[in-house]
Amino acid sequence: MPEVRIDPQSPLPATAAIGGKLVGLLARSAAMGVLTGPTVIRVDAPVIRRLVKDLQRHGIGGAAAALSPLMQVETKPLDAATARAVEHQLDRLAEALEGSAAPSAEWPAMRNVFGDDPLAAWLDISPSSLRRYAGAERETPQATADRLHWLAMVVADLAGAYNDYGIRRWFDRPRAQLDGRSPRQLLGARWSPDDAAAGQVRQLTGRLSGAQPLAV
C-alpha cells in the first residue's frame, strides 16, 4: 500500500482542521488499499484529485463535489461557510470509509503489513483459507471481512507514527491505558469488531493519531 508520510514542513491546504482531516482520510484510504500510487508526502491538488479518483473507483460517492474547492492548483482562501461545508463532507467521507469493508483491496494491503501467517492468526482463519480469499478463489466471509477492515482502520490510525514493524509490535506491547494488557491480550481469541475490547483499542489508536474513531 502507498505510504502517507506528510513532510511536516509542507503547508496543508485551507485550514488546519481541513488539512488534518485530509491526512486522516488519506491514511485510511491507504490502509484499505483504496489509495494507489506513490508515497504521499504533501497534500496538494494533484494528491487530492488522485484520492477522489480512487474513492470513486471503490464506490465512495460525493468525493469530487466535497473536495472541489481544494482541487485547483492555486486554491483560493475559503470563506468560513465553505470551510465548514468542506469539513463536514470530509467527516462524511471518513465515515463512509469506516463503514465500507473492501476485502479485495484490503487483503493485499494487510498481507503486506502483517504477513500471511500472522494475519491469518489475527483473523482466526488458516493461512490456506487466507490465500484463497485473497486470491478471490472463495468469497471472504463477512466475519472475516469485518475483522480485516477493523485491522485496516487500526493500521491507518498508527501509520503516521509507526512503520510496519512498529505497527506489528504495537499490538503485543502492554498499554497502561488497557490496564497493563497488550491490545492482543485484550482482544483475546475469536474477537469481533463489535466487542467492547475492540472499541477500547480503537479509542486508544484514535487518540494516538488525533483522529476520532467513528464506528467502534
Looking at residue 210, its pLDDT comes to 54
The model's pTM is: 0.85
Does 10 have pLDDT greater than 80?
no
Give the pLDDT confidence of 190-206 residue by residue, as tens digits: 899 999 999 999 999 98
Integer Cα distance of 20 and 36 in angstroms: 20
Contact in structure between 93 and 25 (CB atoms under 8 Å) = yes
Helix residue ranges per DSSP H, 58-141: 63-67, 80-98, 103-114, 116-123, 127-134
For 48-69, the pLDDT digits (tens) are 889 988 988 888 867 777 788 8
Quick one: average pLDDT of 94-106? 91
- For residue 85, what are the CA distances in angstroms to 53, 166, 183? 20, 36, 36
- pLDDT tens per residue, range 174-194: 999 999 999 999 999 889 999
